Chain A
Amino acid sequence: MEDLPDALRRHYEERRLPLDRAASILAAGRVQAAHYHRRQQRRWFTAMAALLLIGLGIAGSWVMHSARSSPRSTPISVADVSHSVVQFFAASSPALGLLSPHVSDLQAWLAGKGAPASFVVPSTLETLESLGCQVLDVRGQHVSLFCFLLDPVRPDSTQENLGPGGAAKSAAEPNRSLVHLLIAPRAAFAQAPRVGERVRLAPEGNWKFVAWSKGDLVFVAASEAAGSSLSAVFGAL
């Protein structure tokens, strides 16, 4: 017998798959491969869709969370501001955030609270002694509240107000010697007074109001006081 390894090699190399059978196997293989690639594509699209849905879900929940965590602010009107100051002082124990006779201190404190604080105090109010300030939330908008002593010749209330815990006390008692200045950004208003225009709002009880705009800020002066001194202040604003 011829060399065995050679014989083995020849024996197997002569064995071939019939060509028609090979062709049918290759064709069927291509069909299977096409199915495989379609499946892979479907899987890829499914994975992408799932990722997209998850992303949308995360984004949606983040939007909802941020909407819940930050109070929704809506445009306000001058009447809203005047009403808010009346409500603030009508409370049983209204408290001013800071008491200081220096307007610059009050402005610094308000700036720290994110309220508009960089403004020039109208010259009429500049002559008055400041008492304190607070930030009011008017339908989600921050409004700065400044309190000035309209009648500094009444030292009884001034002394009480400036003492420890005097803020609540001063705000709580019906103090007719105060005049309040409310300041809010013009952008917060749906309809702000035109620059140069002075708007006298309808009184609310004993409260009287004057509003005007200057630059990008809207000012509202409010007071429960009566008499000629208030008329002089309001008239000069």
Chain B
Amino acid sequence: MHLAPLTNPGGELAELALLQSGFRYALSLAHHRQDAEDLTQEAWMKLCQRYGAATSRAALFTSIRNLFIDRCRRAKVVAFDSWDSVPTSLAHPESIAPGTRPDLEKLLAALRPVEREAIYLHYVEGHTADEVGTLTRQSRGTVLSLIHRAFHKLRTAANATNRPPAEPRSTRNQ
């Protein structure tokens, strides 16, 4: 890794940790490595340009989230589904070996960005539903619902991958 001469090694490491954290959050939203890298870079630049530094995790996450929403709106890639139309379980991931990492990758890909975001902030970052609600500007109830639905979808899909191939698949969400 080639960095400029370190004048404040502790600060550099903290910056790097914050950047990596932002990248993981961006990955949870975009679920695409290249997009997540771009989102992180853009958000980081924006904070440095506007405030002279990116020192706050909340500010970085908010910036990444706003950028992601902007991109989605521009590309019209996110459908603002109503809760009724949202599938409650995932399609059966046929080509995944149960319990493997690609398995989880595929399962997460089937979730909506808001669901991935909610479970990332809750299970990975360790935020409470209240904190997730504050970060994502949603009510605690909505956050809890998102976490529950996402987790249910993941568990259902994971269990389905472990079932024998002869077992009939759910047709509800086909």
Contacts and interface: CB of A to CB of B under 8 A. Distances in A.
A30 B103 contact: no
B83 interface: no
Interface string A1-39: 110110111011111111111110111111011011100
A26 B15 contact: yes
B172 interface: no
Interface residues of A, number: 32
Per DSSP, chain A at the interface is: helix
Q: Give the contact-size bracket for chain B.
A: 35 or more
A26 B27 contact: no
Contacts of A15: 23-24, 27, 33
A37 B2 CA distance: 24
Contacts of B27: 12, 15
A124 interface: no
B104 interface: yes
A28 B37 CA distance: 14
B1 A37 contact: no
Contact of A36 (B37, B50, B101, B105): B50
Given A9-B124, A13-B124, A32 B49 contact: yes
Contacts of A229: none
A42 to B, nearest CB: 13
A29 B51 CA distance: 11
Nearest to B53: A33
Nearest to B120: A12
A17 B37 contact: yes
14 contacts: A1-B99, A5-B123, A8-B120, A8-B123, A8-B124, A11-B105, A12-B27, A13-B24, A15-B23, A16-B20, A27-B3, A28-B44, A28-B48, A32-B45
Interface in B129-174: 151, 154-155, 158-159, 161-162
Nearest to A9: B124
A13 B27 CA distance: 11
Nearest to A30: B4
A29 B48 contact: yes
Nearest to A2: B99
